[in-house]
Structure 1
Amino acid sequence: MKPRTLRALGPVILIVAAVVAVVISLAYGGGAAPLDLGDPGPVARWGLPIAKLFVNLSLAGALGALVLALFAFKPSDRAYDVLLDLASFSAALLTVSAGTAAFFNFILVFNPQVSLGPDFGQQLGRYLTDNPLGTAWLLTTIGAAVLTMLTFAWRSWLATLFAAGLAFVTAMPMVTQGHAGDLANHNLAVSSLGMHVIGAAVWIGGLIAVVMVRPHVTRITTTLQRYSSLALFAFVVVAASGVVRAFTGLGDWQYLFSPYGVLVIVKVLTLIALGVLGAVYRTKLIAKTDNPKSAAPFWGLVALELAIMGIASGVAAALARTPSPVALLSTGATRTPAERLTNASLPPELTAERWFTQWNIDILWLAVAAFGIVLYLIGVYRLRRRGDHWPIYRTILWVIGMLLLVWVTCGPINAYQAYLFSVHMMGHMLLTMAIPLCLVFGSAVTLLLRAVDKRHDGTRGVREWVLWAIHSPFSKFVTHPIVAAAIFVGSLWLFYYSDLFRWSLYDHLGHIWMVAHFLISGYIFVLTLVGIDPIPFRFPYAGRLITLIAVAAMHAFFGMAIMMNEGLMAAEWYGSMGRTWGDTPMQDQYVGGGIAWSIGEIPTLITGIVIAIQWSRSDERQQRNRDRHADRTGDAELAEYNAKLAQIAQRDAQRGE
């Protein structure tokens, strides 16, 4: 198939395959079956999953085009403009399809009498503003509309980067919908669905973007190689999150051949097929694509891949409406207080043994740690392969930091932090101080800058974007030692004494934000004190020690404030769990304050010792440099200085005479 033909037929192949797949899957799985009570009719039942299918595909078109533009082209390229046009069109389609999905969702939930009268409009308005599901669709629609205007009006690198971030944020309300909103293992479902949506969007949308820019690129091989790297990353994310999604939906192997299970099997088969095609691309075909004669088989396989992607997208949209066989939590009076609050059963009493055996996996942070370790080791391998040295202790500390992140976000702390404030505070201290200390000593940015090759065609890869970020005005602001310290301490007080704390308890997206914020703020603060990675400005060592002491004092004061607090923080949460084991909520809060005051000082002490050692070594280096300079010049500076003193003494003597 010729590239220009595929450019016209590629999106059609994807959409037709997706629509056919969603219709067949809905009919087989019962996702559009009539409701027992208040059935709104076939238009809404079939319209919602089809509208959600177009939401997914249009999000993929927008996000995939933006990501490819950022990492494969520069604003002066014609292909860059084509990708921004594709993103703008896709965002407009996302706006319409998200609004349509919101309307059909409203019809399915409330089954109102559809009319043009004010009563219907008021009902719809209340649904969009008061109902969490309606609000999620409203936010997605508004975000898509803003994205449409942004990608149409502004075409700079910075605007495109902001647009990609907005597309990512626009997708976030969607991850709480479908089965992720009502499964018993809600948090795991939300994390896996978010990864699945973003990974699939970059993968599918990136391929559509490649097809659309092919006629405008002289040498397509470089573009395909860059997309292939993105696609490999997306494939791993989609595969890992898909396994978790299947687990949370099925619950047990006995349901594997239920209608829901069969659709899951179809998705797995499409994923395997896409993985095989990707392997064939990378190993055999991409290098030949600059030659039009030898490139024909490649573009034929691209058409096949688009069809398979369409099938996978259609099945995924149908799965979101297909009844899941997983056992849902009991409803009504039989639910325990803990189940009402957390959508999970109360764990057993926290004993010494369970600090090592109780786990509650969060696939998002597990993936972050896994990618962090693997990519770091790849960087070290690249340096070693070309004969460059990288300290082994930095590698060890980086791996320890990532493993500690897994223990905090997937281990006993994550299993108990929703039930015990003291455990929550323990995790907070590790996230803000212990883990950043290990990661900063790992010096991942320095490793990346040394291991990743520089581009010479004016485009930006990971290395170029990291360098841009380091020297950006925003980086200069947030990495200034005073600002970093203020964010580190100020966000501590703001978080716990505002509704942000409650948001992190009630909403898993809030919990993800909490982990990310405190991990990053802690990392930046420690980086300004003891890191070797490049940042615009650092205090002299004396200033670093003063900053650390001031922050440590504020941190201790925060812990004491919690210990002296006579009221229970988030009382409607921690005070309503119905625990029959462990300390009372007030006693547990007192312990949590003690942890913030005492245990949090251990990383501070280590940081202070490191600053003192670095200061001492810096003085020693300066002295050695002076000695070497004196050896090279024969103490010329000292001789000149002594001669000047002699002249002054002689002049004074002459005046005395």
Structure 2
Amino acid sequence: MPILTTSGKPPHGDVSAGRGAPRAWPWAVAALPLVVVGLVAGLALSGAAAPRELIDPGPLVRWGLPLATSLARAAAAVTIGALMLCAVVLPRTTPAAPSQARAGEQAPRDDRDRRLPSSGEDPTWRRVANVAVVAAVVWALAQLAHLLLTHAAALGTVIGGPGYGAELLQFVTQIDMGRYLGVATLLAAIVAPVAAVIASHGSAAWAMLLAVAAFSPVSVTGHAAGAANHDFAVTSWWLHVTAVAVWVGGLAVLCVVASRLGAGLADVTERFSRIAVWAFAVATIAGAANAWIRFSTPLDLFVHPYGQLLLVKVVLTAALGLAGWFHRTMTIPAIRAETRPEGRAGWAFWRLAGVEVLIMGAVVGVAVALGSSAPPEALEPPADASPVYLLTGYPQPPAPTAWAYLSQWRPDPLTIFVAITALVVYLSWVWRLRRTGARWPAIRVASWVVGVLLFLWSTSGGPAVYGSVLVSAHLVHHMVLLVVVPILLVLGAPGALAMSVLPRREDGSRGPREWLEALHSSRFVAFVAHPVVATLTVAVSVVVFYYTPVFARAQDSPIWHAVSVVYFTAAGCNLVHALLAGPHRRPAPLPLRLGAAVAGMLFYGAWGMVLGSSTSLLAADHFGQLGLSWGVDARADQRAGGLVVWGIAEVGMLALALALILTWMRAPLTPARRSPAPPAPEA
């Protein structure tokens, strides 16, 4: 007999113990054999596990490597999916029943106090967190096995034997593939203890970001490590596997705990469905882009074993998309309409979600087999490759002109995804606000759209193309992201728009609105967003980035390059926000913000002078070895970069300073700053 609250209903997190209550977790477990079936069938079709002609490491390594890869990917997906559910989907606390509220409790004073009192941590949330811990341990062990088997496959030898330890150490410390796999294993090992101590939505989010970061070193190995279109292949693969992990892992874990969600199953399923739509779109587009660069002709899709295996994956993915659409349109309304204690709604969820998880298991197996198979288009550099091609992975672009800066494009999947997401989400918020009868200033919409398009051009257009071969072009790219784009984005006021349209959750979970409120009230955010701290952060970051090996590393590694783009754009937005208004109810005084803006101008001016007079070349091993046919003097180009800093950064900071001065001049005229009127004389 189910335990009932005083209201006569099962408490949240407890499912009816009746015979009709479904158990969906066996379907998630049953997906594992299908992973193996899809893997073995794929390897048999492509011949990737067949004995090698020259150096054969043996059947244990040939079959063990893809199996270890499958286990590592599946465990990583479950880890990321579980942490995602803890961070943004599931309630961490169980709302108390109405009769448990304190007698005589007053009405809430503001929006943050509107939720019901909590009766403690939700056991379902803790169970999902525990699933993440177990999956992370399996992930770390499987990733270690993947490292050992990859080393054996690379050398064509069995594991163990005389001198094996020294060879493995050399592989991990001196060979690029070994270093990346070693870092991936270390990060996977760190995820488990971090997941074990999560106790809030915030700590779950940090653990999820760490788990996602653990995917990045693996993305530069395998097929994605080829020289041709290197950055594009690595970034698109990382987007693809991360989206698949969120989608597949999230649904698998949801199946495990679905029988414990009670009346909250419909809300949780709908929230996950929204995330799954984005994950499906990203996984499909990024996967298609990553696969397409491996074909020399479209016919390879039908005649080459790699293409045939890819077609199988495409068919299964399309079936998953169809199942997801049916799930969102049919299953969720059924869960809401049917009575949970009778188990009927649970069966509706199990009937479709369980089958979807089974198909996902087969897709994961096929995907690993695909990654172990040789593509039809070799990604190695041609024998007559130029120094530009060898250093950047791309042919030399035409001579730089104004038209070339506008017409040359090198798509970056990550920043394209960020830009499209920013436009779609912002414009959808504006549309939702207008549906309520409220208006949003058109100038703010224009500022946001122009800022996002400028971000897209800077990361995928001329500045990105020429930024890999010219210091001056890189500084154009950098200054646009650090100064110009942040001004336009901050003027778009996305935070205020979001708080106007995002709904509030009342069940103890943390959605987009709750995350914004948490950031708004965070002491850490208050510290880093102080005008003085924000200015010092930008200045120190620029010095560390350009005058340490980090700058050279960012030119050679797509991971470091992506991190630098995200970091400096965020740092610029933080500085502009701190100078213009600040994220707090009581922003810093205007004189302090004006002083920080002037300090920023002085820093950029000094840096521009240093670049203009320097005789040493930044990242000389990269920019000094390109051998451009245009006859460019790298040091002279770097001195021109000093003028770029002056022209972009100084103008941008001057505009901010002028805006602050005008605000200061107008402040005494506002009603809040006017002096009180003198008392009227007595009659």
Q: TM-score range by the shorter chain?
A: over 0.9
Give the superposition deviation at 1:113: 5.3
Match status 1:405 vs 2:455: yes
The 10-residue stretch of structure 1 (253-262 or 485-494) with the greater mean CA deviation from structure 2: 253-262
Question: What does residue 288 of structure 1 align with?
Answer: 334
The yes-or-no answer on 1:210 pairing with 2:261 is: no
The alpha carbon displacement at 1:342 in A equals 1.3
- Which digits, 9 at most, give the CA deviation of each residue in 1:368-399, with x for residues without a partner? 00000000011111111111221111111001
Q: State whether structure 2 residue 319 is matched by structure 1 residue 273.
A: yes
Contact 2:48–2:374 (Cα < 8 Å) also in 1: yes
Given candidates 310, 332, 349, the residue that maps to 1:298 is 349
Partner residue of 2:189? 145
1:557·1:597 contact (CA, 8 Å) conserved in 2?
no
1:322-364 deviation line (CA, Å, top 9, x unaligned): 11112434355x3221122112211121223212211000011
**Partners of 2:429 and 2:498 within 8 A in 1:** yes
Q: What does 1:578-597 correspond to in 2, within 5 Å? A: 578-581=627-630, 583-597=632-646
* Paired position in structure 2 for 1:31: 48
How far apart in 2 are the matches of 1:607 and 1:326? Answer: 51
Q: Counterparts in 2 of 1:340-489, with a 5 A limit?
A: 340-489=390-539
Distance in 2, Cα, partners of 1:153 & 1:488? 32
Deviates more, 1:171-180 or 1:154-163: 154-163
User: 1:154/1:398 Cα in 2 relative to 1: closer, same or farther (>3 Å)?
Assistant: closer
Alpha-carbon deviation of 1:455?
Answer: 1.2
Give the 3-state SS of the residue equivalent to 2:372 in structure 1. coil
Separation of aligned partners in 1, 2:535 and 2:391: 34
1:78 aligns with 2:123: yes
Moved more, 597-606 or 94-103: 597-606
TM-superposed deviation, 1:116: 5.0
Percent same amino acid among aligned pairs?
Answer: 31
Give me the whole-angstrom Cα distance separating, in 1, the residues matched to 2:37 and 2:168: 31
Deviations 1:538-590 (A, max 9, x none): 32222222211111111111011011111111111111111011531111111
Partner of 1:649: none
Aligned-pair CA distance for 1:251: 4.4
Confirm whether residue 569 of structure 1 aligns to residue 618 of structure 2: yes
3-state SS of paired residue (1:19): helix
Stretch deviating more after TM superposition (230-239 or 396-405): 230-239
Name the residue aligned to 2:25: 7
Partner of 1:158: 202
- Give the match's secondary structure for 1:543: helix
Aligned partner of 2:279 in structure 1 is 234
RMSD between aligned alpha carbons?
2.1
Name the SS for the 1:320 alignment partner.
helix
Q: Give the aligned length.
A: 630
Q: Which runs of 5+ in 2 are unaligned?
A: 1-18, 94-120
Q: What's the secondary structure of 2:616's corresponding residue? A: coil
State the TM-score, normalizing by the size of structure 2: 0.89
Residue-by-residue CA offset, 1:613-641 (whole Å, 9 max, x unaligned):
33344333236x748xx7xxxx5xx117x
Query: Is the CA contact 1:200–1:238 (under 8 Å) kept in the aligned structure 2?
Result: yes
Give the 3-state SS of the residue equivalent to 2:508 in structure 1.
coil
Match of 1:312 in 2: 363
Q: For the residues of structure 1 that align with 2:322 and 2:275, how far apart are their CA atoms?
A: 16
Cross-structure match for 2:100: none
Match of 2:568? Answer: 518
Distance in 1, matches of 2:198 and 2:279, equals 27
Instruction: Tell me which residue corresponds to 1:22.
Output: 39
**CA 1:3–1:392 in structure 2 vs 1: closer, same or farther (change >3 Å)?**
farther
- Residue 80 of structure 2: aligned partner: 63
* Structure 1 unaligned blocks of 5 or more: 644-657
Equivalent-residue separation in structure 2 for 1:418 and 1:550 (angstroms): 30
Question: Which amino acid letter does the alignment assign opposite residue 435 of structure 1?
Answer: V
Q: Which has the higher contact order (CA 8 A, sep 6+)?
A: 2
User: Which deviates the most, 419-428 or 320-329?
Assistant: 320-329
Counterpart amino acid of 1:10?
A
Q: Distance in 2 between matches of 1:301 and 1:190?
A: 34
Distance 2:158 2:190 in 1: 31
Measured in 2, the distance between the counterparts of 1:289 and 1:151 equals: 31
Partner of residue 646, structure 1: none
Partner of 1:46: 63
Supply the distance in 1 between the matched residues of 2:193 and 2:569 (Cα, whole angstroms): 33
> One-letter code of the match for 2:135?
S
8 Å contact kept, 1:480–1:537: no
Distance 2:658 2:372 in 1: 57
- CA offset at residue 140 of structure 1? 2.2
Map 1:113-152; keep pairs closer than 5 Å.
Answer: 114-117=159-162, 119-152=163-196
Q: Could you tell me how far apart the structure 1 residues matched to 2:468 and 2:20 are? A: 56
Partner of 1:96: 141
Do the aligned residues in 1 keep the contact of 2:535 with 2:600 (CA within 8 Å)? yes
Distance 1:536 1:31 in 2: 61
What residue number does 2:679 align with? 639
Which of 584, 594, 598 pairs up with 1:535?
584
- Contact preservation (8 Å) 2:531, 2:592: no
